[in-house]
Structure 1
């Protein structure tokens, strides 16, 4: 089974998102920026180009609120399912 996850990291200034294929241990798509909504939209658009539709959302050590929640909602709005 192929496990593809959207990994999110948030620093004080930026938010980073990357889609990783764990079975191959490679990053398929990555982006970062200051605006979480734009990062979410951009990661969804890049995933659509690679024909990725379903993922596992990996928020890491961060709570699901604020920038992490905004990024997730923007990615869902862009067409990703998780």
Structure 2
């Protein structure tokens, strides 16, 4: 459990910094089975766009939900939904997770789809 507490401590620090910047936040959560991405307003009170591997439109043509290909699909989907809502610049909140693997794949796919970090 100490590993999760350390992750939450890092996430708290990052979110405090993003709150000072007052920009829209792209938050990522990674579980063992799925990946979730949400875009929050600058005040943090409203979700502008969201995507996850639980959604049928995203995982329909994927082999699994816990690999880099699934993360890239989620990143692309959340970027498209963000751009449709008129948001093109966000701050990336990795929620204390290390920037590698699935988290990095999601970020790279969102950048390629037109989102600016």
TM-score range, shorter chain: over 0.9
Root-mean-square deviation (CA), in Å? Answer: 1.3
Corresponding residue of 1:5: 25
**How many correspondences in the alignment?**
82
1:18-33 matches, cutoff 5 A: 18-23=38-43, 25-33=45-53
Look at both structures and tell me which one has the larger radius of gyration over its CA atoms: 2
Q: Unaligned stretches of 5+ in structure 1? A: none
Greater share of residues in strand: 1
Q: TM-score, normalised by structure 1?
A: 0.94
Structure 1 residue runs of 4 or more that deviate by more than 6 Å after TM superposition: none
Q: Cα deviation per residue 1:46-73 (whole Å; 9 max; x = unaligned)?
A: 0110011000000011000000000000
Q: Cα deviation per residue 1:9-61 (whole Å; 9 max; x = unaligned)?
A: 00001000000013251111111012101000000110110011000000011
Greater share of residues in helix: 2
Q: Unaligned stretches of 5+ in structure 2? A: 1-20, 54-64
